[in-house]
Structure 1
């Protein structure tokens, strides 16, 4: 549902609740006022984005994908600060299947401005994994350092450590033996 239709519903319910208070039907007015407050909440928090976050907490990727598909036009259905999280969730969705799509979505979410530091760290970690898969180890090291600095609470410490060991292993494999003749 577009934000403009939510605002119209909010105004309708709010004006009817004021009218109910005016004609001394206080309980109807209270109920309609509560409904208008719920609608106002959903203007600032998209219901499908909230459901997608609940599904990802339960590690239900298919459920998250289902709710993200309901958002067909994020620029019209979401407010400005929700759009980066829409792309962030799509980046997480594609992180297991298509790392290049995931990289595109994560970069877009970082460019649009993720707010929470742990989400920024996750996005940078995914970008580092994509850089490793492309063979750009220098960029991957920079992104891992940034993710490590941002991850204050150590939530991603094990993942960063694992990726650093994989990066060192791939660096040793790519290193040629100086004693071997071609």
Structure 2
């Protein structure tokens, strides 16, 4: 269902609630006001996205993918502010299956924008991991620095530190491999 239809339905239900209250049916009117608020909230927070996030927290990627798959056209079904989060969730699910394929989702999530800085930091940290897997140290360092700036509440500080340590080990591995190659 397109997202704007939810607002129309919420307005109709709210109008019915006001009508019931005018005629003295306060109990039913208050109940319909609550239903109208619930329908209005689904305009901002899509229920399929919320369920997919729940399954991601429970580490059930298949179920999360099923719920995200139920969103046919995310541009019409989701509020514009949720487009970045939709791509972030797709990237997180795809990164478990094929990490290098998830890069396009993370980049799209960053370009569409996200309101919470720690989600932006998560996307950039994931891109840093992908760049490390591709052995592109400069790009990985750039994404790590951006992730550190975006992580204002220090929610991902441990992961960023661990990624920097892995980059240091990657440097030592490259130096050792080059040193061994010269001996032969």
Instruction: Report the CA distance between 1:69 and its aligned residue.
Output: 1.4
SS in 2 for 1:96: helix
Segments of structure 1 that go 5 or more residues without pairing to the other structure are none
Once structures 1 and 2 are overlaid, which stretch shifts more, 103-112 or 155-164? 155-164
- Which residues in structure 2 correspond to 1:1-182 (within 5 Å)? 1-175=1-175, 176-177=178-179, 180=182
Name the structure where helix makes up a greater proportion of residues: 2
Instruction: Report the CA distance between 1:127 and its aligned residue.
Output: 0.4
Once structures 1 and 2 are overlaid, which stretch shifts more, 79-88 or 55-64? 55-64
1:60-94, Cα deviation, whole Å (9 max, x unpaired): 22232222112111100111111111111111111
Task: State how far apart, in whole Å, the 2-side matches of 1:120 and 1:9 are.
Answer: 33
Once structures 1 and 2 are overlaid, which stretch shifts more, 131-140 or 6-15? 6-15
SS in 1 for 2:81: coil
- RMSD value, Cα: 2.0
Task: State how far apart, in whole Å, the 2-side matches of 1:110 and 1:129 are.
Answer: 15
Task: State how far apart, in whole Å, the 1-side matches of 2:181 and 2:105 are.
Answer: 44
Segments of structure 2 that go 5 or more residues without pairing to the other structure are none
Cα 1:154–1:4 shift into 2, 3 Å: closer
Task: State how far apart, in whole Å, the 2-side matches of 1:179 and 1:52 are.
Answer: 48
Task: State how far apart, in whole Å, the 2-side matches of 1:39 and 1:84 are.
Answer: 22
1:156-178, Cα deviation, whole Å (9 max, x unpaired): 23322222222222223333229
Aligned length: 182
Calculate the TM-score normalised by the size of structure 2.
Answer: 0.88
Instruction: Report the CA distance between 1:13 and its aligned residue.
Output: 1.2
